Structure 1
Amino acid sequence: MLYTLHEAAYHAATPLRFGALSLKTLWSSPANPWSDTALARNIVAMSDVFESVTRRYGKPEWGLDQVEISGVDVPVSIETVWSSPWCNLIRFRRDGSALKKAGRPADAPKVLIVAPLSGHYATLLRGTVEAWLQDFDVYITDWVNARNVPLMEGRFGFHDYIDHVRTMLEALGERAHVVAVCQPGPPVLAACALMAEDAHPQRPLSMTYMGSPIDARLSPTLTNELAEQKPFAWFRSNMIYTVPLPYAGVGRRVYPGFVQLYSFMSMNEARHREAHWAYFNDLVAGDGDSAARHEAFYDEYLSVLDLTEEFYLQTVDIVFQKHLLAKGELWHRGRRVDLSAITDIALMTVEGENDDISGVGQTQAAHGLCPNIPEAMRVLHVQAEVGHYGVFNGRRFREEIYPLARDFMNRAHGAGESGTDAERPSPRAAA
C-alpha cells in the first residue's frame, strides 16, 4: 500500500510541479520588467527548489566519455559484456591509440568493481571508476532496479548475488582484481573463498574491500544497532512492499529505494535541510557554481532503485543479525564457505576514520578471518578525516587511497604473472 501511495503522491504533485516551472518561466523571462527584482529572484528560486524536491529522479548517466591520462584525453566507450535480468557487467573501454600517446599499454590488468546493491545506482561510483581508469581495464556491476524485472524472471537473493560475482569474474577470462565497495563485501569475500577452494583459474589476483560490513559486530554504527535491535519479523512487516502498475515488475515484493533514501536522509535531516536552504539562497544570489554543485550531488543522491524482498531480508539476516560469514557459519549451495581456503589472493581493506555506516574494524576484520593469506600479501589502511563516502570518492580518495590501491594491485599482478613470492605486496598499514 505504501508504494501505491508514494506513486499517487508523485502524480498528484505533477500539476503543482508544472505550475512551479511556469511560474519560474514567467518571472525569469527577459520580457518581464520585474525579472531582475528581489521578488522575482525569490519566486524563481522557490520554484526551482519545489521542482527539485518533487521531481522523479531516473538513473543518472555515467558521463565518462573520456578520461585524462598523463595529460592526454583518452576517449572511453561503455559496453555491456555480460548480463542477466538482474545485472549488466559494464566495461569502460579506453581508446588504444590515445593510450599509446599517453605512453600507457593498451593491455592493462582487469579490475572488477562490485557496486553496492543498497538503494543507489552504480553511477554513485563514477569517481571510483574514473580513478581506476587511469591505470586499469575497468569493469563494474550495474545492478538493475528490481521494480523493472518481471515476476517471470524469478527471485534474486543473497546467494544469487554470490553466484553473480563468481560468474562475472569468470566472464573476464583471466585472473583479475576485484574491488567491493560497501555492501558487497560479505558476498564478494564468500565468492572469492569458494573460487579459491576450487582452485578456479579465474579466481582474483587481489581483493579490495572498502567500507564493507565484513563483521558488523565491531564498532557498531546506528545502522548496525537498528538491525540488531529490531526482530527479523519487523523488517519483513515494515520494509517490504509490492510494486504497483505500471512497472514491469508489478506484483514483485521489494524493499523500495525511496524507503532506503528516507531512512538515510532522516539520519542527517538537519544537514539536508540546511543544504536546501543554502541552495535557495545561492539561487537568489545568482551563485550558479554553488547551485550547480548542489544539483549535481542531489541528482545522484536522490536517484534510487528497489531491492528484491529476498535479497534485502537475507542480507539483514546473514550479515547484520546472525553474522554468519564472520562466524564461519555461512553455507552456500550446500557448501560451507571456508575463508581459510584463500591462500594466494592478496587482501587490502580500506576504512574511513569517520565512517558512520561501517565502523572502523568492520572491514579490516577480513584479515583475521582469512588466516592463510601471507602477511606480505596484505594491506590494511584506515584513512584519516573521511566518512563513508570519502572512502571511495573525493579528494582524499584520489590523492591518498587510490595510489595505495593501485600500487597494491600492481604488485599483486606482478606476483601472479611470475608465480613467485618475490614480487608479492609488501606489508603496509596506515592509520
Structure 2
Amino acid sequence: MTTPPKTPPGFAELPALFWPAAAGAAASAAWLGALQREFGFAAAAAGMMARPPPDWASPNRVALDLETMLLRDFSATEARGDAVPVLIAAPHAGNSPVLVDLATGQSLVQVLLAGGLQRVLVTDWKSASAPMRDLGIDSYLADLNAAVDDLGGAVNLVGICQGGWMSAMYAACFPHKVCTLVLAGAPIDLSAGQGKPGMLAHALPLEVYRQLVGWGQGRMSGRYLMESWKSLNPGHYLGRMLELHREFAAEGDLSRSDAFQRWCDAALDLPGRFYLQVIEQLFQQNLLAEGRFTALGCTLSLADVTCPAYLLAGEADAIAPAPQVLAAAALLGTPAAEIVQQTLPTDHLGLFIGAPALQQTWPAIARWIADKGGAGA
C-alpha cells in the first residue's frame, strides 16, 4: 500500500500521488486540504484572466428551454418541418458547448448544414445553478427525450465527446427514436483503452470526488475541471494551443484563434450528482459497456441499438482513445454492414475543430446521415 507524502503536494504533482482510500484519515485530510488550496488558487487566477465566453458563430433560435439545456435550432426557416432533424449532443465535461459552432470556418454546425442537412440543432447545456445540484443522468436523458419529442419523435443523433455516451444511452433507451447514431471521440467501453480521465477516475478514491463536489456546494466546478486538466497536461495543452493558433493564423483569420482562446477560458459547472454518477458508474465501473447501467427505470443494453452507426476516433486522442470509441461496434446491435469505423491521425479536439476533419471527414458524415437518416434535401 502506498501513502500520501508527509508534506501535502501541489496540484501539479497529482499524478504521482494516487493512494488507496484506506490511507490514514489524517493524511487524507491533509492531502485534500492542500488540493483544495491549489484548486482555489488555480480557479481564482483563471477567473481573473478569463475573457467573455465566445458567442455562437451561426444564426440560431432557442427552440426549447429545458431544465438542463437550451435547444438551439440552426436551421434555415424554410427548412424546418420536413427533413428528419440532426441533433448534436454537445460535449458536457466542464466545457462550453459552443465548441461545435466556434467561429465562421471553424464550425461543425456550418459544415453539416453546408453538407446538405436541412435541420441541425444543438444541446446548449446550462451551467449548473444551485437548484440543479441534485440532477443526475436521468434528468439529462429525460430532457434529451423531451427535445426529440418536440422535434417530431425521431432524430439523427450526433454525440460529441461526453455527449457521445449520453447519445448511446439515449439510443439504447429509445431505439425507435434514433434514425442514425454518430459517436465522435465518445468514451463507450472504458476497459478498451487507457484514457487519462478513466485512469484518473480509477486512481483516486471516490471520496476525493465527493469532496470536490462538497467544495462546490453540491456542484462540480467547471473551472476546477478546466484548470486541473491544464495542470495535469501542461505540455500537451500548451502544445495543442500553439498548433491551433498557428493553424488559424496561417489561414489569415485571427478571430478564430481568439474564439478558441475564449472557449478555453469558458467553463460550465456540473450538477454534483451527475458528476459523481459519471465518475463511479461509467469511468470506474464501466456499467454502460457491460449492459448494467440503469436509466429512466430501465437497464440499458447497447445491443438494443440497431440503427446505422458511424464511429469516429482519433489516433492521438488521450481523452477518449480510439479503442474506447471503436469498441462500440461490437456492443451495438446494428449489423456490421451498417457500422462505419473511422480513425483520424489527430487528437481529441482535432476531431471536432481540426481543419482536416472539418474539411474532409464531416462533409462525408453529413452525406452519410442524409443517405441513411433522411436528413437531406
Asked whether 1:123 is paired with 2:98, we answer yes
Unaligned runs of 5+ in 1: 11-51, 65-76, 100-104, 243-251, 279-286, 418-431
Partner of 1:332: 295
Deviation per CA, 1:244-286: give whole Å up to 9, x if none: xxxxxxxx421111111112212332465679999xxxxxxxx
Name the stretch that deviates more: 52-61 or 405-414: 52-61
Q: Is the 8 A contact 2:130 2:218 kept in 1?
A: no
Amino acid at match of 1:358: A
Shift of 1:120: 1.1
TM-score (norm 2): 0.78
Secondary structure at the aligned position of 1:133 is classed as: helix
Partner of 2:206: 232
Q: Is the 8 A contact 1:239 1:259 kept in 2?
A: no
Alpha-carbon spacing, 1:163–1:294, altered in 2? closer, same or farther (3 Å)? same
TM-score (norm 1): 0.69
Partner of 2:146: 167
Q: Distance in 2 between matches of 1:273 and 1:325?
A: 33
Q: Percent identity?
A: 24
Q: Distance in 1 between matches of 2:165 and 2:266?
A: 25
Partner of 1:16: none
Asked whether 1:132 is paired with 2:112, we answer yes
Match of 1:298 among 241, 257, 261: 261
Alpha-carbon spacing, 1:294–1:374, altered in 2? closer, same or farther (3 Å)? closer
Shift of 1:9: 4.8
Q: Is the 8 A contact 2:193 2:321 kept in 1?
A: yes
Shift of 1:184: 2.0
Amino acid at match of 1:113: I
Amino acid at match of 1:142: D
Amino acid at match of 2:321: G
Q: Distance in 2 between matches of 1:357 and 1:56?
A: 24
Alpha-carbon spacing, 1:381–1:259, altered in 2? closer, same or farther (3 Å)? same
Partner of 2:7: none
Shift of 1:362: 0.7
Partner of 2:22: none
Number of equivalences: 327
Match of 2:226 among 231, 244, 261: 261
Amino acid at match of 1:215: D
Unaligned runs of 5+ in 2: 1-35, 102-106, 244-249
Partner of 1:54: 48
Secondary structure at the aligned position of 1:405 is classed as: helix
Q: Distance in 1 between matches of 2:239 and 2:349?
A: 19
Alpha-carbon spacing, 1:258–1:53, altered in 2? closer, same or farther (3 Å)? closer
Partner of 2:367: 407
- Give 1 or 2 for the bigger CA radius of gyration: 1
Q: Is the 8 A contact 2:53 2:262 kept in 1?
A: no
Name the stretch that deviates more: 347-356 or 218-227: 218-227
Q: Distance in 2 between matches of 1:277 and 1:82?
A: 37
Q: Distance in 1 between matches of 2:260 and 2:346?
A: 17
Q: Is the 8 A contact 1:377 1:412 kept in 2?
A: no
Q: Distance in 2 between matches of 1:276 and 1:413?
A: 36
Q: Distance in 2 between matches of 1:210 and 1:374?
A: 19
Partner of 1:221: 195
